[in-house]
Amino acid sequence: MTSSQSARHENGVHYFKQGWTLISLPGIRRFVILPLAVNVLLMGGAFWWLFTKLGEWIPAMMSKVPSWLSWLDYLLWPVAVLSVVLVFSYLFSTIANWIAAPFSGLLAEQLEARLTGKPLPDSGIWDIMKDLPRIMKREWQKLAYYLPRALLLFALYFIPVIGQTAAPVLWFFFSAWMVVIQYCDYPFDNHKVSFADMRRSLGSNKIDNMQFGALVSLFTMIPVLNLVILPVAVCGATAMWCDRYRHVYVKNNTDVNSIRK
């Protein structure tokens, strides 16, 4: 059975679980260290600061709720906390991804070579650094895609009732989709697949991909586990690329399932 055939039976949950397994593959662990270090330092410090501020921010948000809805406080309070944590998680994970982008690209490259037995032509940290301008341009493309949509969702928070109920749900689904774009982009960009083509490809398996993105988003909000989620997500997204998309863009694709087992 080829990888493209077997991949039809795998969903986003499978690739999320694969990410946790793949970070410990022999020869891959050393490439996990740098993106892991960036995430630990940034996300660890950011979440410590966030939890010192929640006591001020949540009451301020709840003060915007009309008095005739005060009886819903017990429901709206956890929704407000979830909203803040969602926005904060994505903001700082995005900053971490910017800083770690060259190292995450290298991790995706090395893992793909390990899974397929076919190294990329430009292989190694110096080649990745040489491509740094292209990598940073790609991060700007993702930011340009993200910002107008995020600002629209942020505006919903100022609408009474809708802001405290519908907006967090919409934000969660949007964050899940952006997570898919963020982490799948590393293997796609390593093969210089355009941003537009990548989004079209990911959209063809949107439900499965959203499962992957939702799980990564949830784990980004969990203290301690969120410190290691960056390399896990890169590895899971790279496995997804190898199974689902590589054969579309790369000739001589190989079966990666036996290697990963």
Q: What is the tens place of the pLDDT at every residue in 121-146?
A: 555 566 666 777 888 888 889 989 98
Instruction: Write out pLDDT tens, residues 225-253.
Output: 777 888 999 999 999 999 999 999 987 55
Query: What pLDDT sits at residue 137?
Result: 87
**CA dihedral sign of residues 72, 73, 74, 77:** positive
User: Is residue 217 one of the residues assigned to a domain?
Assistant: yes
d(CA 140, CA 33): 25
Q: Which domain holds residue 126?
A: 12-246
User: Is residue 121 one of the residues assigned to a domain?
Assistant: yes
Query: What pLDDT sits at residue 58?
Result: 58
Question: Mean pLDDT of all residues in the chain?
Answer: 79
Specify the range with the lowest mean pLDDT, choosing from 4-8, 89-93, 111-115, 195-199.
Answer: 4-8
CA nearest neighbour of 214 among 181, 171, 176, 168? 176
User: Is residue 92 one of the residues assigned to a domain?
Assistant: yes
User: Is residue 236 one of the residues assigned to a domain?
Assistant: yes
User: Is residue 251 one of the residues assigned to a domain?
Assistant: no
Query: What pLDDT sits at residue 257?
Result: 44
Query: What pLDDT sits at residue 3?
Result: 45
Backbone torsions φ then ψ of 123, nearest 5 degrees: -120, 130
What pTM was estimated for this model as a whole? 0.75
User: Is residue 2 one of the residues assigned to a domain?
Assistant: no
User: Is residue 112 one of the residues assigned to a domain?
Assistant: yes
Average pLDDT of the residues in 180-188? 94
Q: Which residues contact 143 (CB under 8 A, 6 or more apart)?
A: 94
User: Is residue 1 one of the residues assigned to a domain?
Assistant: no
Query: What pLDDT sits at residue 254?
Result: 47
Query: What pLDDT sits at residue 209?
Result: 95
Q: How many percent of the chain have pLDDT more than 90?
A: 31
Q: Is 195 exposed, middle or buried (0-12, 13-18, 19+ CB in 10 A)?
A: middle
pLDDT at position 71 over 80: no
pLDDT at position 196 over 80: yes
Count the domains in the chain.
1
**Cα–Cα distances in Å, from 89 out to 29, 44, 153, 220, 226?**
25, 11, 15, 6, 9
